Amino acid sequence: MTASLKPLAQQTIVVTGASSGIGLATVRMAVGRGARVVMVARDEAALEAEAARLSAEGGRVAVAVADVGDRAAVAAAAQTAVDSFGGFDTWINVAGITIYGELWRVEERDHERLMRTNFWGTVNGSLVAVEHLRGKGGALVNVGSVASDLAFPLQGMYCASKHAVKGFTDALRMELLQDGAPIGVTLVKPASIDTPLPHRARNYMDREPTLPPPLYRPEEVAEAVLHAAVHPRREIYVGGAASALSSLKTVAPGAYDLLAPAISAFERKGEKPRDPAGALHGPKNAGQVRGDYPGPVLRSAYTRAGLNPVTTTLLATGASLAAAVLLGRRR
C-alpha cells in the first residue's frame, strides 16, 4: 500500500536528537514551514529554551526529554505527541554521537553507549513510530551517514552503527511492504556536515577532532529529511561527496581502503582536546546547529537537484539506460 502523506504544514513531526546539529536544524525548518513539532533529546534545559523561543515566534512545539536508548522513554515521547497534538504523521530519527580513537583503545562501555544511542535509538524510535503509523499511514525518516556505505579509521564503531542502521532500515522497509503498511521509509545519508558532533564526541586522540572536507550546511540535511516527510524516497545522499565516496568504495574497494586514511584527516592541527569525555554518557554542550569548522561550508546543488522530481526521473532513466547498455554488452 502506498503511503499517503499530508503537506508539511498539516503534519505533526517528532524529531529525536533535537537539541543540536541536524536535529535542531530540522526542528527550526519544520516549524518555520508550519508543522507542529515534538522535540526529543536528553538535555531538558536546551529543549525548553528552544521551545520557548519558537513558541514566542508563533511555532507549535512540544518537548519530550528522553534517552533514545531507552524504549520506554521513546514510547513516552510518542505519547507526548498524542497528548499535545493528537498523534504524529512523521517520525525522524536523528540522535547520534561518535567516538574518535582506534577501536582497540576504546573502552567497552563507550562502544556500548554509542551503539545504544545510534543503533538502538533508531530501532526504538522506528518501532514505536511504526506501531502508531501502521493504521493511519505516515513517514519514517532515519538519518544514517555516508558511513552507512563505507568505513573510515578512528570512528570504527560509529561506522559500524551506521551500517547497522542501514541494514535495519532496509529490512523494516521490506517487512512493511509485505505487510501492506502505508508507511514511507527513507534513509538519509549525509557527507561531512558542519555540526557540533566532533566537539561533543568521546575523544581518545591527543588532538581536537574535526571532519574531513568538504563540509555541508546542516540545513541541507534538514531539507532532505523534510522532503522525505512528504515524498518518501528509499535513500537520499546529502552532498555530492557522499555519493562520490560511496561509488568509489563500490567500484574500487581496495583503492578506497588505501585512500581512506588520507581522506579522513580528523585532527585540528595544534589544538589539544577541548573535552575528551564529550556528551557520550550525558547531555552536554547542546543548543547549537553549527560547529566551528574554519573552512568553507557548502550548499549541495547535487542534493537539491536530486530532490526535484523531474531531475530524479531523468537520473533514474539515465541509470536504467546505462544498466541496459552494460547488460547488453555482457550478453
- Are 12 and 87 spatial neighbours (Cβ–Cβ below 8 Å)? yes
Inter-axis angle of helices 253-263 and 240-251, nearest 10: 140
Count the neighbouring beta carbons within 10 Å of the beta carbon of residue 4: 10
**Collapsing DSSP states into helix, strand and coil, what is residue 310?**
helix
Q: How far apart are CA 263 and CA 150, in angstroms?
A: 13
Closest CA relative to residue 222, chosen from 303, 328, 121: 303
Pairing status of strand 138-143 against strand 99-100:
unpaired
Q: How far apart are CA 77 and CA 82, in angstroms?
A: 9
| Catalytically active residues, by annotation | 158
C-alpha cell belonging to residue 220: 541541507
Residue with grid cell 557527507, as numbered in its chain: 191
Q: How far apart are CA 120 and CA 320, in angstroms?
A: 36
Spatial CB neighbours of 98, under 8 Å, sequence gap ≥ 6: 114, 155, 158, 197, 198, 201, 202
Residues in the chain, total: 331
C-alpha cell belonging to residue 172: 523494516
**Collapsing DSSP states into helix, strand and coil, what is residue 193?**
strand
